[in-house]
Amino acid sequence: MLKETTVQWLEMATKYLLLTFVAVFPFIFSTLTTEFFDTPKFVVLLIVVGALLIMWILRCIVEGKFTLTRTPIDLPLLLLAVIVLVSTFFSESRFESLLGNVVSIHGSTISLITYLVFYFALVSNLKNTASVRSLVYLLMGSTVALSAWSILSYTGTHLLSYPFSQTPNFTPTGSNFSTTALISLMLPLPLIAILRGSKSELSNFDFGIIGVKTFLSLISTLLVTTVVLTGAMATYVATAATFGLVLFSTPIGLVRKNTVFLALPIVTAVILAAFSFVSLPSLKTPLYDSAQNFPREIQLSFVTSWKVSVSAFRDKPFWGTGPGTYLFDFTQYKPIDFNNSASWNLRFARAFNEYLGFLGTLGAPGLILLLLLSAVLISVAFKAMLSDATVLGASLATSSIIFFILLLLHPSTLTLWVIGALLIASFMVVHKPITETLHVGITAAKNLGDQLKLSFDALPEVLLVIVIITLGSLYYYTGRFLVADLHHRAALEKITTNDGLAVYNELISANQLNPYNNIYHTDLAQTSFALANSIATSKGPTEASPSGSLTAEDRQNIQTLISQAISEGRVAVALSPNSPLYWEVLGAIYRQISGVAENALLFSLESYGQAIQKDPLNPNLRLVVGGIYYSVQNYDLAIRFFSDAVNLKPDLANGYYNLSVALKSKGDLKSAIAAAERTVSILEPTSADYKAASEFLAQLKQEDEVATKKSTETTPPAAKQNSALQNENLPKVVKLPEAPKVATPEAIKKPG
């Protein structure tokens, strides 16, 4: 009796834990962490996964047997976990592969393994269709609430007072794709209930079959409206595929019988799409203006992503570059024609879709296993969708197919993987014939002779201890890293109050708790530099006091702060040597301390050279290097790098302007005029830059006409002094090691 009661209590605890999780998961976010949405969601997910594992083991101990549920996708998932771990081991950016890139945990080793464990924990803990039904219906309610919230944000009605929640694209999941992808996954439930819901399945409602179907039609309309107004092409296609699969799997007689209920969401979607996106004078309404001004997420194009992933696969075909490293693949392998796109100055951390992402980061084995996983599950789900007469079973089968359609059309998100794992696990539990339940006794014995007998009665207890120790270690480091992130967020908040010392102290705490996060190191480097620069600004040389008022203590403080800035910058590049971003930060620090450190510009050029190696087709990096050479009057190399910039991006107005100024400084007025004319031709005539460039062009022509001596040189934007520590009159208080031998990157030929 006690055994049965204990099992019932454990099952009830599991049920309510999962119900609470699906009710709140889409809405979890926090302003206390650096990243507001994925980080708190992932922390909650880790807690839930740990609790599920412990309750499963406890139930097995009480029952006296291990109960395992085998599903058709177990082997691909387990092999995928192995590939992820091996790829992480061989990754050149191991810390970022393990913990995530920049501030995003999604895509890292720890996140991928957690998703897989979550799936296995779900199929082992969900015992019957009734539990799944409660879970899915509650998730449906959360999705409807999330949809309504997104519509309110779109129309300018904001439920929260946070500044970041005042935008029309705010949604608690953190991205409109995550929200509309969740809607696409849940949409089969109301649609199939309308078409195939039997009286027994819909009898729980008190307002009759017609009333229930009308209610479901209104829910479907709300969901579809959210997708049309706030979604992207990926979710438009996924939603259309949902309607297609539902109609395809439903007998034509049932479709005709329920046409009136389907008409409302379909007609609403068509009308909203027409008024939002069709550019005809008769259709242009405030809805069109709202749709055009809606800040939609930018997705890397398929062609660029294909070129990047194939190039990464070519160089590392077996294990890829490592989980969470697609940003480095992108900067290293992006094609030159990407600079002609509207998003040329962005760096993408995600491929066009999950399959191309796996190809680049996990190599051929990762892609093959994802394709195998997709093929097996789609095959099983498609058969179940056609044969299952129940609303719940057919809906979960359809949702499982939609999950892989979304992976094919868009890079994944944390929300998509978690909800996808939950729905696929629910599908497996509901469709018992495709699974197999294994019962393994927890007491094993072996006779070794007439007298000797070995027994293993402690097996479950040992497993429980192993799990508790593993989870304890994981939660310990998660807690440390979470507290570190709280300190980092506090530092960002204190920046707005100009309290530099408080920012510095918060960042010191963050780095001590989590020394593996590059952002913490680069932020501390920049803060240390800013404090040193503040001292130099307030007490450094001025026109009134050429010698300044720096004391010995001030010089020591400047030296300490700058040394720390350099040290933290070097730590960041050591942790992530393939990231051009951290090399840029280090290069900028060296450049801005040229007034207090000998050979600082050489170190800056070396750092920027490393950044160019990691991001060879980035014209902005060439502009910065050209600006450094211009600042030391090396006009030949300045011209060379400015020319590189415009060869990489022929419509880069800033590049042509800088090139014109450098040519003028060298004395080549004819070429300077040609570059200035190109600058003016690129700029918008109504912009302030156009006016400034036009005035500069007129000045050049006037100088050329009168053939006078060069006037006072104009400094290009990239070479302006932006740090008091660049002042040449400052005492040299920072000692750098021997200057590196700068390797000048190869010149970029002008495209023919």
Vertex 99: Cα angle to 93 and 100 (nearest 5): 75
Residue 82: left (phi > 0), alpha (psi -120 to 50), or beta? alpha
What is the sign, positive or negative, of the torsion defined by CA atoms of 190, 194, 198, 203? Answer: positive
CA distances from residue 204 to 104, 198, 201, 207, 212 in whole angstroms, order as listed: 43, 11, 7, 9, 10
- Contact criterion met (CB below 8 Å) for 595 and 728: yes
What is the sign, positive or negative, of the torsion defined by CA atoms of 260, 186, 206, 221? Answer: negative
Q: Specify the DSSP element, H or E, that contains 68.
A: strand 65-70
Enumerate domains of the chain plus CATH numbers: 2-325+362-438 (no CATH), 517-539+550-726 (1.25.40.10)
Count of residues making up the chain: 752
743 band by pLDDT with thresholds 50, 70 and 90 = low
Q: Two tokens at 749?
A: 């030929």
Longest Cα–Cα distance in the chain? 116
Residue 337 is classified by DSSP as G
Q: Two tokens at 654?
A: 């800033």
The candidate with the shortest Cα–Cα distance to 15, out of 47, 51, 40, is 51
- At 77-102, the pLDDT tens digits run 999 999 999 999 999 888 889 988 76
- pLDDT at residue 140 greater than cutoff 90: yes
How many other β-carbons are positioned within 10 Å of the β-carbon of residue 314? Answer: 9
The candidate with the shortest Cα–Cα distance to 173, out of 3, 299, 26, is 26
Q: Which amino acid is at 322?
A: G
The candidate with the shortest Cα–Cα distance to 31, out of 152, 174, 144, is 174
Q: Specify the DSSP element, H or E, that contains 398.
A: helix 391-409
Residue 152 is classified by DSSP as H
Between 592 and 188, name the one with better pLDDT: 188
- At 496-541, the pLDDT tens digits run 888 888 999 999 999 999 999 889 999 999 999 888 888 877 776 6
Q: Two tokens at 187?
A: 């949409």
- pLDDT at residue 444 greater than cutoff 50: no
CA distances from residue 483 to 26, 44, 123, 126, 752 in whole angstroms, order as listed: 23, 15, 33, 33, 54
CB-based contacts of 634, cutoff 8 Å, min separation 6: none
pLDDT at 464 (0 to 100): 78
- Contact criterion met (CB below 8 Å) for 550 and 542: no
From CA 749, how far away is CA 752, in angstroms rounded?
A: 9
Q: What is the 3-state secondary structure (H, E, C) of 612-632?
A: HHHCCCCHHHHHHHHHHHHHC
Vertex 319: Cα angle to 317 and 324 (nearest 5): 115
How many other β-carbons are positioned within 10 Å of the β-carbon of residue 457? Answer: 10
- Helical segments of 496-597, H only: 500-513, 518-539, 552-575, 580-592
The candidate with the shortest Cα–Cα distance to 422, out of 134, 30, 9, is 134
- Helical segments of 101-187, H only: 109-125, 129-154, 176-186
Q: Two tokens at 146?
A: 């999330």
pLDDT at 193 (0 to 100): 93
pLDDT at 113 (0 to 100): 96
Q: Please compute the mean of the pLDDT values over residues 320-342 and round it to a whole number.
A: 94
586 band by pLDDT with thresholds 50, 70 and 90 = very high
The candidate with the shortest Cα–Cα distance to 74, out of 135, 116, 111, is 116
Find residue 439's DSSP bridge partners.
Answer: 67
CA distances from residue 276 to 220, 269, 299 in whole angstroms, order as listed: 19, 10, 20
Q: Please compute the mean of the pLDDT values over residues 124-144 and round it to a whole number.
A: 93
The mean pLDDT value of the chain amounts to 87
Buried b (16+ CB within 10 A) or exposed e, 343-353: ebeebbbbbbb
Q: Please compute the mean of the pLDDT values over residues 589-610 and round it to a whole number.
A: 87
Least confident segment among 394-398, 603-607, 725-729: 725-729
- pLDDT at residue 453 greater than cutoff 50: no
From CA 621, how far away is CA 611, in angstroms rounded?
A: 8
- Contact criterion met (CB below 8 Å) for 623 and 640: no
Q: Which amino acid is at 498?
A: N
How many other β-carbons are positioned within 10 Å of the β-carbon of residue 173? Answer: 27
Q: How far is CA 394 from the centre of its chain?
A: 32
- pLDDT at residue 625 greater than cutoff 90: yes
3-class state of residue 384 by DSSP: helix
- pLDDT at residue 66 greater than cutoff 80: no
Q: Please compute the mean of the pLDDT values over residues 682-705 and round it to a whole number.
A: 85
**DSSP code per residue over 422-488:** HHHHHHHHH-GGG-EEEEEES--EEE-SSS-EEE-TTHHHHHHHHHHHHHHHHHHHHHHHHHHHHHH
From CA 334, how far away is CA 328, in angstroms rounded?
A: 10
Percent of the chain beyond pLDDT 90?
59
From CA 173, how far away is CA 29, in angstroms rounded?
A: 8
Q: Please compute the mean of the pLDDT values over residues 150-173 and round it to a whole number.
A: 92
How many other β-carbons are positioned within 10 Å of the β-carbon of residue 170? Answer: 20
pLDDT at 752 (0 to 100): 59
Write down the residue that tokens 């019962």 correspond to: 439
pLDDT at 456 (0 to 100): 45
pLDDT at 339 (0 to 100): 94
- Contact criterion met (CB below 8 Å) for 600 and 540: no
Find residue 473's DSSP bridge partners.
Answer: none
Find residue 437's DSSP bridge partners.
Answer: 69
744 band by pLDDT with thresholds 50, 70 and 90 = confident
Q: Two tokens at 345?
A: 């100055």
Vertex 423: Cα angle to 421 and 425 (nearest 5): 65
CA distances from residue 24 to 143, 145, 216 in whole angstroms, order as listed: 10, 11, 22
- Contact criterion met (CB below 8 Å) for 132 and 429: yes
- pLDDT at residue 455 greater than cutoff 50: no
- Contact criterion met (CB below 8 Å) for 606 and 742: yes
Buried b (16+ CB within 10 A) or exposed e, 232-253: bebbbbbbebbbebbeebbeee
The candidate with the shortest Cα–Cα distance to 137, out of 411, 445, 392, is 392
- Contact criterion met (CB below 8 Å) for 140 and 20: no
Q: Give the pairing type, strands 436-441 and 65-70.
A: antiparallel
3-class state of residue 649 by DSSP: coil
- pLDDT at residue 711 greater than cutoff 50: no
How many other β-carbons are positioned within 10 Å of the β-carbon of residue 376? Answer: 15
How many other β-carbons are positioned within 10 Å of the β-carbon of residue 168? Answer: 18
- At 349-408, the pLDDT tens digits run 999 999 999 999 999 999 999 999 999 999 999 999 998 879 999 999 999 999 999 999
629 band by pLDDT with thresholds 50, 70 and 90 = very high
Residue 677 is classified by DSSP as H
- At 554-581, the pLDDT tens digits run 788 888 888 899 999 999 999 888 999 9
- At 260-298, the pLDDT tens digits run 999 999 999 999 998 888 877 776 778 888 888 899 999
